[in-house]
Structure 1
Amino acid sequence: MSQIGNAIEKRDQGPAAVIEQYKPELALVAASHVKVDTFARLAVGVLRQNEKLATAASSSPGSLMSALMTAARLGLEPGTEQFYLRPIKRKGVWEVQGIVGYQGIVELIYNAGAADSVVVEVVKRNDRFEYVPGRHDRPIHEVDWFGDRGPLVGAYAYAVMRGGAVSKVVVLNRNDIDRAKAKADGANTEYSPWRTDEEAMWLKTAVRRLGKWVPTSAEKLALPTAAASDRPALPAAPVIDDTDPDDEGPIEGELVD
């Protein structure tokens, strides 16, 4: 177990007390826009609403704090679709696992200030979907919102950058999604979001691939002034790494690890 895990075990008085005790450490790693008191209250609230998660946090407070440290570093809200907290059993011991959600990756893209909008959608069998690279700058996707859309068949993501240019369009079919799921840690366990929130995980897989092509940042970067608006945006520092065990592995690319 890590040094922080060993220290937590010695000081543990229950998950809520551990979070309170380690707020100074959370403050040291948190993105600048994170209000640590609010962050801690959110985390405690999630534990109180989920008995299994609370049991895992009591069993392994070190894993709880490891997950919360990651959420704080990325500036994401724990226990939401930005950053899932789930119980997972490893070698007979319940632990807390932190998983960046698709809304969390979208937030990291917006933080970098280079994108005006991020579009990430699933495609279902009865939708009309058309995208030909070189002919279309973005997909044509028509949905009957009040009819039977059928099962999931794919997902896509792209960003409209400042100035109007469209980023690379990521399009994934079911086989692409299945390959990503096969590499995910514990994807078929009871509390995995692949089982509890499958559509969100399809969205996440698409927007995570988009992270190869657009800047991301844990910090909310200030937009350029009007005088500098014609200058190209600088790439933000990489923030997504392989600490998320439910991903298909670290992103490889110019902007994101």
Structure 2
Amino acid sequence: MARDLAARLNTQTNTANNAGSDAGTAVAQRPQAEMTLNDKIRSMEAEFQMAMPRGTEATQLIRDAMTAIRQTPKLQQCDGQSVLGSLMTCAQLGLRPGVLGHAWVLPYWDRNANDKRGAYKAQLIIGYQGLVDLAYRSGQIASLSARTIFENDLYQVEYGLEEKLVHSPLMTGNRGNPVAYYAVVRLANGGSTFIVISHDDMVKHRDAYASAQKNGVVFGPWRDNFEGMAHKTCLRMLSKYMPKSTDMALAVANDGAVRVDLTPSAVEHPQHIDGEVVDEADDVDAAATEGGVQ
């Protein structure tokens, strides 16, 4: 069943000033200049807890965040508010950063920050599994899948009054090169719909929207996991034709966003800025490990 996120946001706004855990309060009482990024995250435990769906724990989100920082040390160079903002969005959507393919918090170079001198900020990337999980939570989805069609598979795609998608993958031998990607959703009421994107069109989409590029060369998951990114793109496009879910719509809108506003309603107004995801292995601003994607 879809949660009434709007009502929950109003409740958070009205009660945020009265909440706080003992541990979080103790950390928050330290001078701001003395607080590490981990300290700032811990100090937000009460706010994260209020934002999260019932049955989930802020302590788990904080542990996930600490792991993400250890795995991506450059996050410590990011504007702390943007890291907290990405985590707040994860809290509100009930997603785990860096876990289960739900979402990633990644260093992002904002070329227009500090009077165009540039600065690191954190960007939230919603994963394919995160979108799938949110789709199922709506209660209106019976099944959801994304697959790749290879040139030696048997397939048929028809659009029009009687749309048809048939895909019989080759089970032995060489399946050949990928020719298309698709996502299919079956609704709880018995209906279904699908979307198919050719490999050539997917390459064009990547080149147009992947912010993880340097000198025209694509980095990150579009290079390292093209198929997974193609499946995610299909699902994002298919979501336009699926039953409306507040959480799903917010996830799609916040994918690739940089958030510095921690007020609960800020999730409804995501900010997408001009910049590039940064590669931990490359100190040059334009490199990337996990792409800002559309």
TM-score, normalising length: structure 2: 0.65
- Alpha-carbon spacing, 1:191–1:216, altered in 2? closer, same or farther (3 Å): farther
Shift of the 129–144 alpha-carbon distance from structure 1 to 2, 3 Å rule, reads same
Alignment of 1:103-182 (within 5 A): 103-133=129-159, 138-145=164-171, 147-166=173-192, 168-182=193-207
Distance change (3 Å), C-alpha of 1:160 and 1:244? same
Q: Is the 8 A contact 1:110 1:216 kept in 2?
A: no
2:63 partner amino acid: R
Higher relative contact order, chain-length normalized (CA < 8 Å, sep 6+): 2
Q: CA deviation at 1:148?
A: 3.2
Contact persistence 1:131–1:138 (CA under 8 A): yes
CA shift in 2, pair 1:79/1:207, >3 Å? same
Residue 150 to residue 21, structure 1, CA distance change in 2 (3 Å): farther
- Native 8 Å contact 1:15 1:54 kept in 2: no
Matched, 1:84 2:95: no
Q: 1:101 maps to which residue?
A: 127
Inter-partner Cα distance in structure 2 for 1:183 and 1:24? 40
Q: Which amino acid aligns with 2:176?
A: G
- Amino acid across the alignment from 1:211: S
Q: Distance in 2 between matches of 1:198 and 1:79?
A: 19
Q: Which amino acid aligns with 1:19?
A: I
Structure 2 unaligned regions, length at least 5 = 1-27, 112-117, 257-291
SS at 1:131 equivalent: strand
Q: Per-residue deviation at 1:138? A: 5.0
| Aligned position for 2:89 | 70
Q: What's the Cα RMSD here?
A: 2.9
The amino acid across from 2:81 in the alignment is: G
Whole-angstrom distance in 1 between the partners of 2:69 and 2:172: 36
| Residue correspondences, number | 220
**Distance verdict in 2 for CA 1:70–1:149, change over 3 Å:** farther
Structure 1 residues 25, 11: closer, same or farther in 2, change over 3 A? Answer: farther
SS in 2 for 1:86: strand
Q: Secondary structure at the match of 2:174?
A: coil
Corresponding letter in the other structure for 1:200: G
Q: What SS is found at the alignment partner of 1:78?
A: coil
Structure 1 pair 193–30 and aligned structure 2 pair: CA distance change class (3 A): farther
What one-letter code is carried by the residue in structure 1 that aligns with 2:134?
L
What is the aligned partner in structure 2 of residue 244 from structure 1? 255
Q: Which amino acid is the alignment partner of residue 195 of structure 2?
A: V
Identity of aligned residues (%): 25
Q: 1:31: which partner in 2?
A: 53
C-alpha displacement of 1:172: 0.8
Cα distance change of structure 1 residues 125 and 10 upon mapping to structure 2, 3 Å threshold? farther
Give runs of aligned pairs for residues 201-212 of structure 1, distance below 5 A.
Answer: 201-212=229-240
- State the alpha-carbon separation in 2 of the partners of residues 15 and 216 from structure 1: 36
Mapped pair 1:21 → 2:43 = yes
Partners of 1:185 and 1:215 in 2: CA distance: 27
Counterpart check, 1:199 vs 2:241: no
Unaligned ranges ≥5, structure 1: 1-6, 220-236, 249-257
The structural deviation recorded for 1:57 is 3.1
More deviation, 169-178/96-105:
169-178
